Amino acid sequence: MKRKVWLIFTLITISILFWNCNKTNDNPLKPEFSLKTDDAIDNEEYKVYSAFLSDWNSGQIVIRQATTTALSVSMGNTYYETVKAEISNIDSTVFTDYIAKNDSVFFLGNPFNIPAKTVSLISEDELNFIFGSKDVNGDWKKFYTLYPNSNGYIQFSRVGFNATKNQAIFEMGHFYASLGAGGLIVFLKKENNTWRVVQSFYTWIS
Q: What are the φ and ψ backbone dihedral angles of 132, each rounded to 5 degrees?
A: -95, 0
- How far, in whole angstroms, is CA 65 from its chain's centroid? 7
Q: Tell me which residue of 108, 115, 97 sits closest to 167, measured CA to CA.
A: 97
50-68: pLDDT as tens digits: 999 998 988 999 999 999 9
Q: What pairing do the DSSP bridges indicate for beta strands 60-64 and 150-156?
A: parallel
Give the three-state DSSP class for 1. Answer: coil
pLDDT band, residue 29 (cuts 50/70/90): low
Give the three-state DSSP class for 20. Answer: helix
Tell me the C-alpha distance between 131 and 123, whole Å.
12
15: burial class by Cβ within 10 Å (0-12, 13-18, 19+)? exposed
| Phi/psi-derived region of residue 114, left when phi > 0, alpha when psi is between -120 and 50, beta in every other case | beta
- Cβ burial 173-205 (10 Å sphere, 16+ → b, else e): bbbbeeeeeebbbbbbbbeeeebeebeebebee
pLDDT at 33 over 90: yes
Tell me the C-alpha distance between 100 and 94, whole Å.
10
Domain architecture of the chain: domains with CATH = 42-205 (3.10.450.630)
72-124: pLDDT as tens digits: 877 667 788 888 889 989 999 999 999 999 999 999 999 999 998 999 999 99
Amino acid 58: pLDDT: 87
Amino acid 192: pLDDT: 95
Indicate the average pLDDT of the chain: 87
